[in-house]
Structure 1
Amino acid sequence: MSAPTLSGMRRGPDMAQGPPAGGLLDPGPVSKLSRSPSRAERERRSFRFVLDENSGEQAGQGPPVLGRQRFEQVVLHLIEHPVHASQLPGAAPGEGHLVAPSVVRVRGPVADLFARLANLLDECRHEDAGTVYHDDVVVRSPRGELHGLDEVTAHLKRSQVEGEHTQHVHGDVLVQVDGDRAKATANQLTYFYRNGEAPHRTSGLRVACTAVRTSVGWRFSESQITLAWMQEK
């Protein structure tokens, strides 16, 4: 199914008479000798048209609020037609970087590694560590340094305490992609609890990882875990 295009979107009655004076779409005086807009300019105007049409707001009246359907249309349009971040509304001159479709597609799978790791730890599926870690992974944490998937798996099994459960929560995930490698960082909260009881220990950690693309998907090849704080009851 093809993605929706901006050309097929219906304009409201107010758009038929042209944009309001001073609005984001107001091109200003145009002479007969005016040059045709560049591709970047066309993409910028298309993006702003979507925002203005949905919000009904003029420039200076606060940020637009996108409905779910329109938001998805905007995202699909940006993936098909990447623009420089400096061309987006509110950006300072020279600010931002080119958002390429390949980068957008990669960041999701890399960020998902944190969620997959949390799930397998909380469910004690230690044998599934290979779905997150590379065979030659190196993990450094306050408890020591581990080399290779076998050492990591064995350590996870030894660390399990009977009757104790964990809940891992990751946030503030950032991913920087560089070809077949990516740097990913996240904040992690780990809750230790027993059935039906409030957590008796909580820790806050910072996690910095290197991910590599393999034949079976992205995997963490290196992980640095730093303890920020711990609270025990």
Structure 2
Amino acid sequence: MDRALTDDDDPLIDDDQEAYVPPPPVSTDIPAPRTETPEAPEAPRGGGAATGRAYGPAAPPYAPTSPYAPAAPPVDAARRVRPCWQCGHPLPPGTSSCPECLEPTRHLRLIGSRPRLDLRHGEGAPLRLGRHPVWARPEVFGALQCEREVSRCHAVVQLAPDGTLWLTENPRGTANGTYVNHERIPRGGRVRLEDGDVIGLGEKVAFTVLLPDPAG
């Protein structure tokens, strides 16, 4: 005889199957973002110091140099080695003549801008200024050969052994005159020069004469 069905006799549930359990409710709360502290960079190989692993000794602190650092002491002129103005050979201190070329250390320097000229001349022999190809010094002739205002044998400059410097015009005179610091000297005259004087051959050609220190 069949019995009546009860609530426990659900035909949809198998005795060997587990009962259905609904999933837990989903939370709608948004979690806070996760923050991480970055690690300090490692020091480069060969030096430097930083948080973390180090590869060498720490670099010394930066020490700027002072712009007011003391200057080097001056060199004593008596111990300064200088070259010979003629051959370039080193001259011992206190030398009056070069041991290589035997040229005296005392000399004059003649500088001109028109024409361009820069030469040195020793004591004793006169420095001849003019356009004569044989009488004048070769460098002077090369600079003055196109200057028609300058006489062929215009004047001479001579450094005496006692250190005095003289300018002498041609005894027969010149067509356009000879000047010292823009003042014309007498015809065929002889005048003493000083360091820095300006010699004029005519009114357009001029040279500055210098007396370098023999000790330097």
Query: TM-score band (shorter)?
Result: under 0.3
Higher helix proportion (structure 1 or 2): 1
| Structure having the larger proportion of residues in strand | 1
TM-score by length of 1: 0.22
Q: Could you state the TM-score of these two structures normalised by the residue count of structure 2?
A: 0.23
Asked which structure has the greater CA Rg, the reply is 2
